[in-house]
Amino acid sequence: MTTGVRRRMGVEERRQQLIGVALDLFSRRSPDDVSIDEIASAAGISRPLVYHYFPGKLSLYEAALQRASDDLAERFVEPREGPLGARLLRVMRRFFDFVDEHGPGFSALMRGGPSVGSTTTNALVDGVRQAAYLQILSHLRVERAPARLELVVRSWISLAEATALIWLDGRRIPRAELEVQLVHDFAALAAVSAASDPEMAAVLRAALSQEPSESPFADLVGRLVALAG
């Protein structure tokens, strides 16, 4: 008969374990409702040992948020190949995967963060938004956005956040429909801006030049034509 011996973790390995445990708990309940005692219990260690690796709940929350924000930013990374509409739809699917996996934590974060929030957490959220903004510009093959394009892209990112929060509150609209709707929203915002701005018109024409007849953008046009008729 052998006797099981618990392997002792190194400092960084234990820190990463605690971050993972905290992120899992924050994903299922608001960070405000998760205690250090719960994190310690889920990690299989004592409360004082948690404080050995993190000075308090705020530092652990920020470390978990850093991992989550890195993950969320990566959801917007997409190869610049193929039609823009299809690329944006894949991005929205990955974005809603994240929202689905981290619902309560995402909701608390986007609504101002937990009571332990700080300027660091706000900076991390802003960093995700900036990463998403730069990725969308990359999809449009634009290095330096004119003013109206920046307004369109940043407004669309805010719209995606708001849509996800509303969806989490009851999930009354099928997720797949919202993913397509947000791609349509991007096209609509860009089209309204392009109608009165030559720079935006040039960007939109370039983006639409490779769109096939079955793309989300073409689907929107078809729906609008049918509605007008």
Q: In this predicted model, what pLDDT tens digit does every residue of 86-121 receive, in sequence order?
A: 999 999 999 999 999 988 878 777 765 555 456 777
Task: Judge whether 63 and 54 are in contact, CB under 8 Å.
Answer: yes
Mean pLDDT, residues 169-193: 94
CA distance 157 to 196: 22
Average pLDDT, integer, range 143-159? 94
Backbone angles phi, psi at 126, to 5 degrees: -60, -35
Residue 76 in any domain: the answer is yes
Position 4 in a domain: no
SS3 content of the chain, % helix, strand, coil (to 5): 75, 0, 25
Please check whether residue 55 lies inside any domain of the structure: no
| Residue 133 domain-assigned (yes or no) | yes
Confidence of residue 42 (pLDDT cuts 50, 70, 90): very high
Cβ neighbours, 10 Å, residue 167: 19
What are the distances in angstroms from CA 127 to CA 17, 24, 72, 99, 172? Answer: 24, 22, 10, 17, 30
Report the SS3 class of residue 214. Answer: coil
Q: What is the pLDDT of residue 111?
A: 66
Please report the sign of the dihedral spanned by the C-alpha atoms of residue 180, residue 141, residue 68, residue 116: negative
Q: What integer pLDDT is reported at residue 39 of this predicted model?
A: 93
Would 93 be classed as within a structural domain?
yes
**47 lies in a domain?**
no
Range with the poorest average pLDDT among 18-22, 59-63, 88-92? 59-63
Calpha distance 66→86 (Å, rounded)? 29
Q: How many domains does the chain have?
A: 1
Structure-block tokens of residue 165: 């929060």
Structure tokens belonging to residue 76: 């917007």
The answer to whether position 90 is within a domain reads: yes
Q: How far is CA 78 from the centre of its chain?
A: 14
64-69 mean pLDDT: 86
Tokens of 94: 């990955």
Question: What whole-number distance in Å separates Cα of residue 210 and Cα of residue 20?
Answer: 42
Tell me if 63 sits within 8 A of 19, measured CB to CB.
yes
- CA–chain centroid gap for 4, Å, is 41
CATH number, domain of 168, equals 1.10.357.10
Specify the pLDDT at position 5.
40
Question: pLDDT by residue (tens digit) across 71-80?
Answer: 999 999 999 8
The more confidently predicted of residues 65 and 175 is 175
Lowest pLDDT segment from 1-10, 64-73, 167-176: 1-10
User: Considering the domain boundaries, does residue 148 fall inside one?
Assistant: yes
Q: Are 179 and 96 in contact (CB under 8 A)?
A: yes
What pTM was estimated for this model as a whole? 0.84
**Share of residues in the chain with pLDDT > 70 (%):** 93
* Residues of the domain holding 223: 69-228
Residue 80 neighbours by CB distance under 10 Å: 11
**Average pLDDT, rounded, for the chain:** 87
